[in-house]
Amino acid sequence: MEIAVTGIGAISAIGNDVQENLRSLVTKETGISKAKLLGSKLTETHLFGEVKLSNEKLRAGLNWKDAAVSRTTLLSAWAMKEAIEQSGIKIDDQVGLVSSTSVGGMDRSEGFFEPYYTEQDFANVFMLGTHDCGTCTKQAAEHFGITAYATTISTACSSAANAIAVGARLLRQGKLKRVIVGGTDALCRFTANGFNSLMILDSEWCKPFSANRAGLNLGEAAAYLVLESKEDAEARGTEIHGLVTGWANTNDAYHQTASSPDGNGAFMAMTQALEKAGLKSSDISYINAHGTGTQNNDQSESIAIHRVFGAQKPPISSTKAFTGHTLAAAGAIEAVYSILALKENKLFPNLNYQDPIEDNDWQPQLEVESAEVKHVLSNSFGFGGNNSTVIFSKA
Amino acid sequence: MYLGAASCISFQDSFGNENPWNSLVALTQETQLVQPDYKEFVASAALRRMSTVLKMGAAGGKSCLAQAELENADAITVGTGLGCVRDTLKFLKAVYEDGEGALSPTAFIQSTHNSIAGQLALMLGNHGYNMTHVQGALSLGYALSDAELLIGEGDAQTVLIGAVDEKTDELVALLSKLSETVDYQMPAIGEGGAFFLASKEKLNSSIAKMVELSLVSKTTANADLVLSNTNEGFNYAQYSGEHFTSIGFGLFMALKAFDIGKVDNAQVSFNNPSRILVHHKLLGQEMSIVLEKI
Amino acid sequence: MSLFLKTYCQIKEGEVHINGELFCQHMDEDPFLRSIYKHIGLTYPKFFKMDALSQLGFLGAEMTIMRSEMEQYADDEVAVIYSNRSSSLQTDQQYYQSLKSGIASPSLFVYTLPNIVVGEICIRHKLFGENNFLITERFDAKQLIDQCEALFQDEAAKAVLIAWTEVNGEEHDGFFAFVTASGMNEVTPESLTDLYLGR
């Protein structure tokens, strides 16, 4: 069964919908700046890829009555709405949701934890009602009337890529007729401080794949794709934006957070995804890399890419200097960008590139360029050695 | 999908126990997890820093594979409702008490939901598919579904499936206060970890076939033995305590029921069931698994 | 003469602290030094040929130098002065054992000199300045600071990586500091000793 993408939705630091995201990508306008909504001391010293809409604006735009909802859920519903509306699908008992998040409702729970830990004050304990990841997905599913299947993948930064794979599998085995897949994560003090304690945040604008890169910028985002069989999409006469043709998830099994020097997990993920897609490495028109801007990832990923593609590499870029590293949402927002690359026949640039990494025989795609884009390979690698690759192909 | 080798750490004497049905003990205020000697499964330096979920993951996963007489599984899927509670709260406390300074990177690393599955992969040198589902009381259900789909796609022959959740005194206090705000009668909270080896083909260790999995309701299928956390059958949750993945204990007991065959004691009586339904209903979520003896 | 501290790092009791902040703890099944190597995402296969003393010294140098903006110095303007109490005793004993078993191990023999680690660091970071290894009873901040001062006064260096690296089985006592002739945080033997003692 060929898996068609019939709807895409996105909200990130560079746009509140897919069109705005695309416009920023082609005008090379980054969304990384000083955060205005995140209440963390780290906003004084670090830059973030913050979504420009407040929770109030998100709720208003969604007509979301219940105040007991986290930003993570609101972002996901916002992007889901765009994807569902674009696809024109009706929600029935053949439609499922495979979402993903790493923070869940932590952004809202922090409203409880602050007075609780600083003053032993339990006043806001009711905020914990939306804490766990499952509840965030459940609320979004209920908002759209999705009842048949709703799960949450939580594998750190590879989550959404995994959600896409799980969704594709559900369709292929006839468990569902349509599935909405993607991921969401909102900025919160917990993750900002967590990454800071690992000393992998760049206090300046991140520089993916540059020799002098100094870490990542955190971002928030949500993005979803509507998947259904190509046959069904054609029967419905709906626009097919692209196909999901390959996917793979492997474990690096090297260390809890760092990637192996030889990029083993990444190498296996890319290789297996190509195999599943029935493609050769030379068929890939563009790689949207994980490229977080950390010393470790960019080095390890570069080595893995070289192992798979050899000297004949397609154009490669990381779009994280646009959006920041959006954690669980990364695989989804970058899936949307991969689909846009296919639709628009455009290559998106790797911003803020400075000097080449010593052993790399390539430099990233630096400009927006028109090109024939047939197959895009997207990488998402997360803590816990979780390595995922998804391949998208022209419809 | 075949199931057989299973390992469970719970409030009952379940770990390494051939017949946990004959040693069920009612829970009291003082009940603690009956834990194995983790040193058998984890090197001491790592053990020092690990929270209960991580320890249960390591011991449960490894012992399940040992029972199945396998070095490794092709894939690992884990379901957890709240993930690593201890480390999450520890890190949060540090963020707020120290005003965003002096934090513990270890607590942060270990707090990510997939650290259980990730750590197993690390310990086993397992490069296969590695997934974590966090969907409240349906978490194990989705981990089972994922394994079934993976096998169905031909991407794995064997999958190690886990269901883990831990509790801490602080968590119980928070849940208690939260329950008060919504007038919900909180059940006795439990914790535990259960691991299962699922396979495409029948293995020596296989005991049953999963013939039905519902992620929305209690199936209407007939069964010789019903295990449920409601009183519509043998209530396993009164022995495991209630938590998002307490159905893991139920599934473990179901497999042991097939294995042992006949049990006749003060708590329960059954005679060679050939079909068992395991059911869980909690906080608006409901799921059921139907197993057939092979 | 005023001396300044740019970065300091401590590897001790299963923990690494950088500039006073906890950076990582031993939390996996690998030996501690290997787990640090992995944690910082290092790719340097030679690391696995080194003995424990060199591994400790190498890792401390790596984490310290990375945060010290070394690009501003010419390759002969950075000196390296390491110190410890037991010299390469642990490796000496391992080498002696290998002799007794009849097979002298050349790869072990290399590490029967304490200053080999300094050589490894200079190779890795392309440092062509002065280097030295002192044997002292205990961590001697005064000697180390005096040596830095002498180098700065002679204009033989503009920055010095100083360290104390003592290993005993799985016990590690590593302390590293990047000291400069100009900068922001003044350092004295007393203040450096306080940092070493965790005060």
According to DSSP, the β-strands at B75-79 and B158-165 are parallel
Among residues of chain A, what percentage have pLDDT more than 70?
100
DSSP H/E element including B199: strand B192-199
Q: How distant is the Cα of C38 from the closest Cα of chain A, in angstroms?
A: 6
DSSP H/E element including C50: none
Are residues B50 and C14, on separate chains, in Cβ contact within 8 Å? no
Mean pLDDT over all residues of chain C?
94
List CB contacts of B98: < 8 A, sequence separation 6 or more: none
Are residues A147 and B216, on separate chains, in Cβ contact within 8 Å? yes
Residue A301 has pLDDT above 90, yes or no: yes
In this complex, the residue of A41, A42, A134 whose CB is nearest that of residue B81 is A134
Amino acid, single-letter form, for residue B239: Y
Kindly state whether residues A172 and A204 are assigned to the same domain: yes
DSSP H/E element including C40: none
User: A131, A143, A325, A375: which is the annotated catalytic residue?
Assistant: A325
Is A158 within 8 Å of A290 (Cβ atoms)?
Answer: no
Is A283 within 8 Å of A45 (Cβ atoms)?
Answer: no
Is A384 within 8 Å of B115 (Cβ atoms)?
Answer: yes
pLDDT at C170: 86
In this complex, the residue of C23, C25, C29 whose CB is nearest that of residue B123 is C29
Among A183, A210, A236, the domain-final residue is A236
Q: What is the spatial distance between Cα B134 and Cα B77, in angstroms, rounded to a whole number?
A: 11
Q: What is the spatial distance between Cα B38 and Cα B42, in angstroms, rounded to a whole number?
A: 6
Kindly state whether residues A231 and A265 are assigned to the same domain: no
pLDDT at B45: 85
Q: How far apart are the first and last CA of chain B?
A: 11
Q: What are phi and psi of A49, to 5 degrees?
A: -100, 80
Q: How distant is the Cα of C90 from the closest Cα of chain B, in angstroms?
A: 22
Radius of gyration of chain A (CA): 19
pLDDT at B280: 97
Q: Which residues of B touch C21 (CB under 8 A)?
A: 101-103
Q: How far apart are the first and last CA of chain C?
A: 24
Is A48 within 8 Å of A35 (Cβ atoms)?
Answer: yes
Q: What are phi and psi of A112, to 5 degrees?
A: -85, -45
A300 touches chain C (CB under 8 A): yes
Task: Give DSSP secondary structure letters for B223-251.
Answer: -SEEEESSSSSB-THHHH-B-TTTHHHHH
Q: What is the spatial distance between Cα A166 and Cα A171, in angstroms, rounded to a whole number?
A: 9
Amino acid, single-letter form, for residue A289: A
Q: What is the spatial distance between Cα A61 and Cα A64, in angstroms, rounded to a whole number?
A: 8
Q: What is the pLDDT of residues A323-336, one digit of tens each?
A: 999 999 999 999 99
pLDDT at C98: 87
Q: Which residues of A touch C23 (CB under 8 A)?
A: 199
Mean pLDDT over all residues of chain B?
95
> Which SS3 state, helix, strand or coil, does residue C57 take?
helix
> Which SS3 state, helix, strand or coil, does residue A5 take?
strand
Interface contacts A/B by beta carbons within 8 Å: 176
The ipTM assigned to this model is: 0.96
Are residues C43 and A299, on separate chains, in Cβ contact within 8 Å? yes
In this complex, the residue of B95, B125, B182 whose CB is nearest that of residue A253 is B125
Q: Which residues of A touch C39 (CB under 8 A)?
A: 255, 257-258
Nearest to residue A134, comparing CAs of B217, B80, C170?
B80
Are residues B122 and C28, on separate chains, in Cβ contact within 8 Å? yes
Q: What is the pLDDT of residues C47-78, one digit of tens each?
A: 999 999 999 999 999 999 999 999 999 999 99
Is A337 within 8 Å of A319 (Cβ atoms)?
Answer: yes
In this complex, the residue of C18, C39, C43 whose CB is nearest that of residue A257 is C39
Are residues A132 and B215, on separate chains, in Cβ contact within 8 Å? no
Q: Which residues of B touch A42 (CB under 8 A)?
A: 100
pLDDT at C97: 87
Residue C1 has pLDDT above 90, yes or no: no
Structure tokens at B196: 């299962």
Give the residue-averaged pLDDT of A4-24. Answer: 98
Instruction: Look up the pTM and report it.
Output: 0.94
Give the residue-averaged pLDDT of B265-279. Answer: 95
Is A231 within 8 Å of A1 (Cβ atoms)?
Answer: yes
Give the residue-averaged pLDDT of A264-276. Answer: 98
Domains of chain B and CATH, by start = 2-293 (3.40.47.10)
Q: Which residue has the higher pLDDT, C199 or A45?
A: A45
For residue B121, what is the nearest residue in chain A, using CA coordinates? A253
Half-sphere exposure of C36 (CA within 13 A, CB side): 29
Give the residue-averaged pLDDT of A149-174. Answer: 97
B125 touches chain A (CB under 8 A): yes
Q: Chain-centre distance of CA C118, in angstroms?
A: 8
Q: What are phi and psi of A9, to 5 degrees?
A: -140, 145
A124 touches chain B (CB under 8 A): no
Structure tokens at C29: 């099944």
Are residues B100 and A175, on separate chains, in Cβ contact within 8 Å? no
> pLDDT class for C105, splitting at 50, 70, 90?
confident
Residue A290 annotated to the active site: yes
Residue A226 has pLDDT above 90, yes or no: yes
Kindly state whether residues A197 and A288 are assigned to the same domain: no
Q: Which residues of C touch A257 (CB under 8 A)?
A: 39
Among A182, A216, A236, the domain-final residue is A236
pLDDT at B232: 85
Residue A157 annotated to the active site: yes
C41 touches chain A (CB under 8 A): yes
Give the residue-averaged pLDDT of A119-128. Answer: 96
Are residues C14 and B45, on separate chains, in Cβ contact within 8 Å? yes
In this complex, the residue of A126, A137, A198 whose CB is nearest that of residue B108 is A198
What residue ranges do the domains of chain C occupy?
A: 3-88+114-197
For residue B110, what is the nearest residue in chain C, using CA coordinates? C27
Among A216, A236, A256, the domain-final residue is A236
> Which SS3 state, helix, strand or coil, does residue B280 take?
strand
Kindly state whether residues A294 and A222 are assigned to the same domain: no
Are residues B45 and C27, on separate chains, in Cβ contact within 8 Å? yes
Q: Mutate which of C16, C24, C38 to test chain A, going by most A C-beta atoms within 10 A?
A: C38
Query: Residues for chain C: how many in total?
Result: 199
CA A301, A304, A306, A309 torsion: positive or negative?
Answer: negative
Among residues of chain A, what percentage have pLDDT more than 90?
99
Kindly state whether residues A328 and A210 are assigned to the same domain: no
Q: Mutate which of B135, B142, B175 to test chain A, going by most A C-beta atoms within 10 A?
A: B135
Is A101 within 8 Å of A72 (Cβ atoms)?
Answer: yes
pLDDT at C102: 83
A254 touches chain C (CB under 8 A): yes
C18 touches chain A (CB under 8 A): yes
Give the residue-averaged pLDDT of A221-226. Answer: 98
Segment 130-169 of chain C within 8 Å of chain A by CB: none
Nearest to residue B23, comparing CAs of B218, B280, B282, B268?
B268
> Which SS3 state, helix, strand or coil, does residue B193 take?
strand
- Domain over C3-88+114-197 is classified CATH 3.10.620.30: no
Burial of A5 per CB tally in 10 Å (0-12, 13-18, 19+): buried
Mean pLDDT over all residues of chain A?
97
Q: How distant is the Cα of B102 from the closest Cα of chain C, in angstroms?
A: 6
Is B234 within 8 Å of B226 (Cβ atoms)?
Answer: yes
For residue A241, being part of any structural domain is answered with no
Which subunits count as partners of chain C given 3+ CB pairs below 8 Å?
A, B
pLDDT at A145: 97
A193 touches chain C (CB under 8 A): no
Q: Which residues of B touch C14 (CB under 8 A)?
A: 45, 48
Amino acid, single-letter form, for residue B277: L
For residue A219, what are the domain limits? Answer: 3-236
C13 touches chain B (CB under 8 A): no
Are residues A257 and C23, on separate chains, in Cβ contact within 8 Å? no
Interface contacts A/C by beta carbons within 8 Å: 29
Q: What is the spatial distance between Cα C161 and Cα A144, in angstroms, rounded to a whole number?
A: 61
Q: What is the pLDDT of residues C12-46, one digit of tens each?
A: 999 999 999 999 999 989 999 999 999 999 989 99
Residue B231 has pLDDT above 90, yes or no: no
Q: How distant is the Cα of B13 from the closest Cα of chain C, in angstroms?
A: 28
Residue C106 has pLDDT above 90, yes or no: no
Q: Which residues of C touch A294 (CB under 8 A)?
A: 41
> pLDDT class for A127, splitting at 50, 70, 90?
very high
Kindly state whether residues A75 and A210 are assigned to the same domain: yes
In this complex, the residue of B118, B132, B135 whose CB is nearest that of residue A256 is B118
> pLDDT class for A90, splitting at 50, 70, 90?
very high
> pLDDT class for B102, splitting at 50, 70, 90?
confident
In this complex, the residue of B43, B104, B105 whose CB is nearest that of residue C29 is B43
Q: How distant is the Cα of B191 from the closest Cα of chain C, in angstroms?
A: 23
pLDDT at B33: 97
pLDDT at B163: 98
List CB contacts of C164: < 8 A, sequence separation 6 or more: C82, C83, C84, C139, C173, C174, C175, C196
Structure tokens at B146: 């994922």
In this complex, the residue of A40, A193, A386 whose CB is nearest that of residue B118 is A386
Kindly state whether residues A219 and A99 are assigned to the same domain: yes
According to DSSP, the β-strands at C131-135 and C78-84 are parallel
Radius of gyration of chain C (CA): 16
Is B238 within 8 Å of B25 (Cβ atoms)?
Answer: no
Q: What is the spatial distance between Cα C11 and Cα C84, in angstroms, rounded to a whole number?
A: 14
Are residues A299 and C41, on separate chains, in Cβ contact within 8 Å? yes
Segment 143-182 of chain A within 8 Å of chain B by CB: 147-156, 162, 166, 169-170, 172-173, 175
DSSP H/E element including C99: helix C89-100
User: A46, A133, A136, A157: which is the annotated catalytic residue?
Assistant: A157
Q: Mutate which of A42, A294, A296 to test chain C, going by most C C-beta atoms within 10 A?
A: A296
A294 touches chain C (CB under 8 A): yes
Tell me how many domains chain A contains.
2
Kindly state whether residues A56 and A164 are assigned to the same domain: yes
Kindly state whether residues A199 and A81 are assigned to the same domain: yes
Domain CATH number, residue A372: 3.40.47.10
For residue C34, what is the nearest residue in chain A, using CA coordinates? A255
Percent helix, percent strand, percent coil in chain A, to nearest 5:
40, 20, 40
Are residues C40 and A259, on separate chains, in Cβ contact within 8 Å? no
User: Which segments within chain A are labelled E, that is strand?
Assistant: 3-11, 48-49, 95-100, 149-153, 178-185, 218-219, 221-229, 242-251, 286-288, 316-317, 346-347, 369-370, 375-382, 386-393
